[in-house]
Amino acid sequence: MAQSFTTNPLQNQTGSVRRKVLVTGGAGRIGSYFATHSHHKYDLILLEREWDEDSKSLEQFGSLIEGDIEDLERLKEAFAGVDTILHLAADPAPDATWTNVRDLNITGTYNVFVAAKACNCRRVIYASSIHAVSGYPEGVQVKTSEPVNPGDLYGVSKCFGEAMGRYMATQENLSTIAVRIGGFQPHESIRTETGVGMLDAWVSHRDLNQLFEKSIDAEHLQFAIFHGLSDNRFKRLDISDARELVGYAPQDDATRENPELQSLHLNERVNLLSRADGQKSGLREDLP
């Protein structure tokens, strides 16, 4: 857990008052799910470049405002009085061109951090991605303490965001938690034939939302990188930091969801040689 640290434990600034959370990319798949399922817990502000008629239905869950993350001054206006920024807005395409990742994922992310600092926000939750470490060979389970290793320009842009977050947390005293999001897909997708391909990288909607909430609420962390995967039997990314530091307890597992995998009973048949799987120590014979 070398990437995670506390310098000055955050004080609970809200007490019984609900936190005000601003979500960039509030109309996206992840942002809209967060708004739908977490509005009861936080006072939400959902920011989009522009709102279409379909997305305006989210106004029942929070305030809808327009703003371009490439516009620093607009972000400073929007972030005033906000406790936490959940920064989701980005070009998410793995084959995104340099121009797109530069403008949205790099310049936009820089603006979000600067505006959050200028407005004395308590924390930024940065939506990083599994693509920040997708360059590691197959079969390697990546830990948060290992160097970034992006597999594409999109991943490169997410590495920038993680580095920016570390800088802001260390040098500018703006607490940051980066969440490397895996394959964010509904249960229905993981149950299809192609769902087998997400066996080691899937994160369900409710598991990722739980990790966001725990990251928002934690008071003891100045900076951390967490891996946002469900409790899959096989995990491309190690999720133990999130378990230990914020009590992340994912509920879903790809091997239990996909019919092809269910029939194999992998959770019962695959022995990972772990004490947790029932392996006993021979030392027991010589102890009372």
Catalytic residues: 154
DSSP string, 150-166: -SSHHHHHHHHHHHHHH
Handedness of CA 182, 183, 187, 191 (dihedral sign): negative
What burial class does residue 51 get, using C-beta atoms within 10 Å of its C-beta: 0-12 exposed, 13-18 middle, 19+ buried?
middle
Q: For 199, phi and psi rounded to 5 degrees?
A: -50, -40
Contact 226, 242 (CB under 8 A): yes
Structure tokens at 222: 């100045």
Determine the Cα–Cα distance for residues 200 and 189; give it in Å rounded to an integer: 14
24 three-state secondary structure: strand
Determine if residue 218 is left, alpha or beta; phi over 0 gives left, psi from -120 to 50 gives alpha, anything else beta.
Answer: beta
Q: Which of 33, 89, 82, 88 is nearest to 61 (CA)?
A: 33
Q: Tell me the sheet residues that pair with 129.
A: 181
Helical residues (DSSP H) of 81-203, grouped into ranges? 98-100, 108-118, 153-171, 187-190
Q: For 72, phi and psi rounded to 5 degrees?
A: -60, -45
